[in-house]
Structure 1
Amino acid sequence: MDKQQNNDLKRTLGFGSAISIVIGTIIGSGIFFKQASILDNAGSSTMAIVAWVFGGLITLAAGLTIAEIGAQMPYTGGLYVYIENLYGRLPGFLAGWMQVIIYGPAIIASVAGFMSIMMTNLFGLDAKWRVPLALITILFIGGLNFFENKVGAAFSVITTIGKMIPIAAIIIFGIIWGHQDAFGQTLSEVNRSTGGFGVAVLATLFGYDGWILIANLGGEMKNPQKLLPKAIIVGISTVLIIYTLITIGILRFIPAATLHALGENATSYLATKAFGHIGGKLLSIGIIVSMMGTLNGKIITFPRIIYAMAKRGDLPFSRFLSYVTPKGKSPITATLFIVVLATIMMLFFDPDRLSDLCVFTIYCFYVLAFFGIFILRKKNTKRPFSTPLYPFVPIIAIAGGIFVLVSELINDPAGVILFIGIVIVGLPVLYLVKKLDGKRLK
C-alpha cells in the first residue's frame, strides 16, 4: 500500500477524542452481561476475576505491540493496512473483508442486542420489543455519523463521561457495602458449564474488544505517530483496572450461585437491589448510555475500513462506498453499508453467538500483526514509538493470541471451520471485482 496514501478525511481528532473513543468503544455490554457466563466457565469467583485480569493483560500486551506498528503506519484502515503492508495484498484484503462482512456488523448487532435487554427491563416492555429498540438505536447512531467526525467524537466524549457514573456506583457500592467475599466462591451447588478457564478468558476478550478500532482513524488524527500509541496504552490500562474492580464489586454484592441463576439480568438486578426502584432505573440509564457510546465508537470506526478498501477498489461498488461528503468529509455511504449489514445480522442471526466466533476470526489476523513487529524491527531502526520490554511483550501477545485460537478450536471446531470458510469466500469476490475493473491483482 502506498505509504503516501491519499487521505480525503479530516485530521481533526485530538487526544481527548481518541482516548474517549478507545475507552468508549471497549466498555460496553461485555462487562455487564458476560459476568455470569465467565463465572460459569471459570468455576469459581477467584478464577473469574483472574480470567478478567488475564484477558486484560493479553489485551494490553497486544495493544503495546500494535502501538509500535500503528505509529509507523498512521493511515485510515488500521489492521487492514497493517496486514497488507506486512504480508501483501491478499492477506490484507482478507483482514479487511473479515471485518467488513462479519466482524463489524456482528459486533454492532451484538452490542445493540444487549443494550435492548436493558431498555426493555428499564421500561417494563415485553421481550418482543428488543429487536425493534436495537434497530432504532443502530439507525439513530448511524445517522449521527453521517456528519463530520467531530460529531461522532463529541458523542463518544459525552457517553464516556456518562458511563463513568454507573461504573463508579457499581464499584463503590459493591466493594464497600457488599457482604460476600469476592474470592473463593464456587459453583459446586449448580450445574456448572464445562467450558473451562480458556473459554472464560475468551469471553472476557469480547468485553475488551474494540481496543484496536482507534487505529482505523489513524488518517484523521492530528499527530497519529504520538497520539495513537498513547491512546491505546492509556485506554487499555484504564479499562483493565475498571473491569477488575467492577467484577470484584459485583461478586461482593451478588453470591456466585445467584449470579449464575440471573445470567444476563444480573446487572439489572444489582442496580435495583443496590439503589432501589428509582435509583436502579437511573443506574440502568447510565449503563444504556455506556452501551450507546460503545455502539457509537464501533459505528465511527468500522466504516473507515470500508472506505480504505473502497479507495483501493477492493469492494463491489467501490466508487459508491468511497464517497465522502464535500464539507464534512464523512464516509456516509460506508457508514450506511455497515448499518445495513448490522441490521441484517440483528434480524436473521444470533449476533451474540456470532460475536464470540468473531473473536476467533479477528485473532487470526491479530497474531499475524503481532509477528509483524519483528519484521518491522529488521527494516526500521528509527520508530515513533517502541514497545517496552521487547521482545517479551510481543511474545506474550502472540502466546495469548495462540491461546485464544486453540481454545476456540477445541471448544467449537465446527464454528471455526464455518468462519474460516466465510473469510476465504472473500478471495473469489476480490477476483471478480478486479476482473470487472480490468485490473490485475498485485
Structure 2
Amino acid sequence: MKQTEATVGLSRSLGLWSALALVIGTVIGSGIFFKQASVLQLTGSTNLALLAWLLGGLITLADGLTLSEIGAQIPHTGGLYQYMNHIYGKFWGFMSGWMQVIVYAPAIVGSIAGYLGLLMVNFFGIGAVWKGPIALLAIVLIATLNMLQNRYGATFAIVTTICKLLPILAIVIFGLFFGHESGVGETLAGVHQSMGNFGVAVLATIFAYDGWILITNLGGEIKQPERLLPIAIILGISIIIVLYLGVTYGIFRSMGVGRIDQLGENATAYFATNAFGKWGGRLVNIGIMISIIGALNGKIMSFPRIYYAMAHEHQLPFSHQLGRLNRTTQTPVVATLTLLVLTTIMIFTVDTDRLSKLCIFVMYSFYIAAFVGVFILRRRNPGGSQLFRTPGYPFVPIFAILGTGFVVVSELFSDFTGALVSMGVIALGVPLYAYLKRYYRHEQDQDVL
C-alpha cells in the first residue's frame, strides 16, 4: 500500500456543478413524490403541512451551515468520519465510521435499490421475483460506473439530476399557473391536530431532506473544498427546500385535501395524469425511477470513500487492500467492490429498509456530536476557517443541535428496540478497534525490525 500511496492519489477534479448535482441528486429520491398526503394527514391542514416542510428544510439548512464550517477546516476524504476523528480522537472517529461501513452504507444502498426494483416490476408488469435481480443489476451497473474516473460518476449525477428536475418543475409550474381545484388553506376533517402530530410530520420531512451530508465524503476530490464544499451544501439544500415547497404547494393548488387524503401515496401520480394526460402518471413514475437511480449513484460514489479513509488510518480489516486506488482511474475500486458485496448479501438475506432505519438513532447522534464540534473547534482554534464561518453563530448551530436532537429523541421513543440494536452494533466495534490497534502496531514494529 505504501508504494501505491506514493504514486496514486484521489483525483481532485470535482467542481461546483458536480458537487451541487451530488447534493441535490443524493437527497431527492422518491420522498417528495409520495409524502404530501402523509404530511397532510399528520398536520390536518395544507398550511400546517407547508409549514412542516419549511421547518424541516430550515433545520436541514442549519445543519448544512453548521457542518460547512467544519468541512472548510477539515476538507478531507471521509466526511463525518474525519470530523469525528479530528475533533474527538481516533476512537470516536472509528465508531462513527464503523456503523456506516458495516451496516448503514450497504443497508441504505440495498433499501434504495430494492425500492427501485419494486417500482420497475410494477412499471413493466413483470413478476415480483425480478425485484431482487433488478436491484442487484442496478447497483452493479452504478458501482461499475463509479470504479471509472470520478468524473463519470459526477457527470451521471448531473444528468440524472437534470432529468429528475424536469417532472418536479412541471408539477410546480402546472400547480402554480393552472391549478384550479385549490386545496390551499383547507383543513382535513376528522384529523385531531396536535403538536405531537405536527412534530411527527416535521420528522417525516427531515428524513426526506436527508443525504446531503454524503458530499463531505468526497472532500478530497473537490476542487478548492474549503470554498466550494460550503457553497455546494448550502446552495444545494436551499434549492431542495424551494423544490419541495413548490411541489407540495403545486399539488395543494390543484387538488382538494379530501382527494389527496383519499389517494395517499398515489396523489402525485393522479395529479400528473390529470395535468398531462394518460401518460402523465407513467412519466412521473419514470421521473421517480430516475430520481432513485440518481440518489443511488450519489451514495455508491460517496460511501466507499469512508472505507478508503478508514483504511488509511488502519481502522478496518484488510486495510492494505481497502486503502488502494486503481492506478488508472484513481478511484477506490476495492472499497467499491466491498460495498457491492455487502449490499448484495443484505439484499437477499435481510430487510434492508428496516436495517437502514435501525441506524438512524446512532447516525443522528453522531451528527449532533459533529455540530457540537463547531464550538470545540472555535475554542481550540480561535482563528478558525477564514473561508467560511457559520452565520448566526451560536444560534444556528444550537438550532441544528436541537433539530437533530428532536430526531434522536423521537427515534428513541418510537423505536426503543431499534435504538438498542443500533447501539449494540456500535458496541461490537469496541473489541474490533482494540484488536486492529494492536495488530497494526505489531505490524509496524515488524516493519521496523
Q: For 1:62-141, what aligned pairs fall within 5 Å after superposition?
A: 62-141=63-142
Asked whether the 8 Å contact 1:40–1:193 carries over to 2, the reply is no
CA distance in structure 2 between the aligned counterparts of 1:311 and 1:107, rounded to whole angstroms: 24
Q: For 1:297-316, what aligned pairs fall within 5 Å after superposition?
A: 297-316=298-317
Asked whether the 8 Å contact 1:199–1:408 carries over to 2, the reply is no
Q: Of residues 424, 428, 446 in structure 2, which corresponds to 1:425?
A: 428
Q: 1:154 to 1:148 in 2, by over 3 A?
A: same
CA distance in structure 1 between the aligned counterparts of 2:149 and 2:123, rounded to whole angstroms: 32
In terms of mean alpha carbon deviation, does 19-28 or 427-436 score higher? 427-436
Q: 1:187 to 1:379 in 2, by over 3 A?
A: same
Query: Match for residue 38 of structure 2?
Result: 37
If the length of structure 1 is used for normalisation, what is the TM-score? 0.91
Q: 1:440 to 1:325 in 2, by over 3 A?
A: closer
Asked whether the 8 Å contact 2:117–2:134 carries over to 1, the reply is yes
Residue type of the alignment partner of 1:377: R
Residue 193 (structure 1) shift: 12
Asked whether the 8 Å contact 1:306–1:322 carries over to 2, the reply is yes
User: Does 1:186 pair with 2:183?
Assistant: no
3-state DSSP class of the match of 1:277?
A: coil
Q: 1:315 to 1:382 in 2, by over 3 A?
A: closer
Q: 1:265 to 1:101 in 2, by over 3 A?
A: farther
Residue 257 (structure 1) shift: 4.5
CA distance in structure 2 between the aligned counterparts of 1:435 and 1:45, rounded to whole angstroms: 58
Kindly name which structure, 1 or 2, has the bigger radius of gyration based on alpha carbons.
2
Query: Match for residue 237 of structure 1?
Result: 238
Q: For 1:18-417, what aligned pairs fall within 5 Å after superposition?
A: 18-178=19-179, 179-186=181-188, 188=190, 196-380=197-381, 381-383=383-385, 384-417=387-420
- Cα distance per residue 1:118-148 (max 9 Å; x no partner): 3233223344433332222111111111101
CA distance in structure 2 between the aligned counterparts of 1:74 and 1:62, rounded to whole angstroms: 17
Residue 32 (structure 1) shift: 2.0
In terms of mean alpha carbon deviation, does 270-279 or 25-34 score higher? 270-279
Residue 50 (structure 1) shift: 1.9
- Cα distance per residue 1:317-349 (max 9 Å; x no partner): 111211211011111111111122223333233
CA distance in structure 1 between the aligned counterparts of 2:281 and 2:151, rounded to whole angstroms: 33
Aligned length: 436
Asked whether the 8 Å contact 1:94–1:423 carries over to 2, the reply is yes
Residue 440 (structure 1) shift: 10
In terms of mean alpha carbon deviation, does 338-347 or 416-425 score higher? 338-347
List structure 1 runs of 4+ shifted beyond 6 angstroms: 191-195
Asked whether the 8 Å contact 2:46–2:183 carries over to 1, the reply is no
Gaps of 5+ in 2: 445-449
Residue 290 (structure 1) shift: 1.8
Asked whether the 8 Å contact 1:40–1:187 carries over to 2, the reply is no
Residue 149 (structure 1) shift: 0.5
Residue 78 (structure 1) shift: 0.4
Q: 1:38 to 1:337 in 2, by over 3 A?
A: farther
- Cα distance per residue 1:271-291 (max 9 Å; x no partner): 334322334323322222122
Residue type of the alignment partner of 2:318: F
Asked whether the 8 Å contact 1:120–1:127 carries over to 2, the reply is yes
CA distance in structure 1 between the aligned counterparts of 2:281 and 2:193, rounded to whole angstroms: 29
Q: 1:308 to 1:18 in 2, by over 3 A?
A: same
Q: 1:129 to 1:262 in 2, by over 3 A?
A: farther
In terms of mean alpha carbon deviation, does 413-422 or 129-138 score higher? 129-138
Aligned CA-pair RMSD:
2.5
Identical counterparts, % of pairs: 51
In terms of mean alpha carbon deviation, does 128-137 or 86-95 score higher? 128-137
Q: 1:58 to 1:192 in 2, by over 3 A?
A: closer
CA distance in structure 2 between the aligned counterparts of 1:345 and 1:44, rounded to whole angstroms: 40
Query: Match for residue 447 of structure 2?
Result: none
Asked whether the 8 Å contact 1:40–1:260 carries over to 2, the reply is yes
Q: 1:185 to 1:115 in 2, by over 3 A?
A: farther
Q: 1:50 to 1:129 in 2, by over 3 A?
A: farther
Asked whether the 8 Å contact 2:183–2:257 carries over to 1, the reply is no
CA distance in structure 1 between the aligned counterparts of 2:185 and 2:352, rounded to whole angstroms: 32
- Cα distance per residue 1:391-411 (max 9 Å; x no partner): 111111011111111111122
Residue type of the alignment partner of 1:161: I
Q: 1:111 to 1:254 in 2, by over 3 A?
A: farther
Residue type of the alignment partner of 2:306: I
CA distance in structure 2 between the aligned counterparts of 1:330 and 1:260, rounded to whole angstroms: 47
3-state DSSP class of the match of 1:74?
A: coil
